[in-house]
Amino acid sequence: MDTGHLLQEFPPVSTQSWEDLIRKDLKGADYAGKLIWQTEEGLAVKPYYRAEDVAGLEYPDARPGVFPYARGARSTGDWRIREEIYAVDRVKANRAAHSAVLAGAGEISFRAANFENASDLNELLANLEEIPVHLENAGVPQLRLLIELLNARQRPAPVSTGWNPLANLDYAAEVIAAAPATLVPFTIHGEEFEESERPLSKKLDLPWQQPSISWLGCKSATWTLIAPQLRLHFHFLLAPTISFKLPSCAPSA
């Protein structure tokens, strides 16, 4: 049955008409206090949204995994249950990871385990080749070991680290050039950057427009290469619509 014509029988209703009806039902009660949800992150969530609320978005039809990566660098959501392991000892951490996988975890985050050489790293990651792993406290020496290991031995599941590329931009550029496809070497924490506006579309001044990240992009080649190697970390109970502009690089002389 063709139902496309049914909506034509109803006249359009303006936003002001909805607002007037809502305020009438509130009977003088505070609109913001009753209906605007203020999240812990400072986002003001309205009781309803209309097409006009997203009319100003720069990339409304952007697809995940497609430049300019307004909806992320991956083409699928890939939601997984992540188990965080706080054991410092590598053997205990690995054993805890296997127990978590058997219990249903689809990803492991080693928060405290450390490794100083290839043997330590192999011990920590033993028999976890099919499980995505995150190494939160990895530094430059650990990144070097990871690159050597993953370039020498293919691994089906990705490995990510909590290393911030802003700590050493020159080395970050080297990592981008040398890192295998299964390594996501960088994490940028969004909470470290301040925001001033609170619209539905959050145009964050992070991290692409930061001078240091712009420099990294120009130093390292293309954003198509860089974006999949960045892990953006936000503390949002309700994720807003996030948009950002990628910097342009001036041609070298």
Q: Give me the residue label for tokens 């040398």.
A: 178
| C-alpha triplet 104, 105, 109: angle, nearest 5° | 165
SS (H, E, C) 118-164: HHHHHHHCCCCCCCCEEECCCCHHHHHHHHHHHHHCCCCCCEEECCC
Per-residue pLDDT tens digits for 102-160: 999 999 999 999 899 999 999 999 999 999 999 999 999 999 999 999 999 889 999 99
Distance CA 115, CA 151 (A): 18
Per-residue pLDDT tens digits for 44-97: 999 999 988 888 877 778 888 787 777 776 777 667 899 999 999 999 999 999
Q: What is the pTM of this model?
A: 0.59
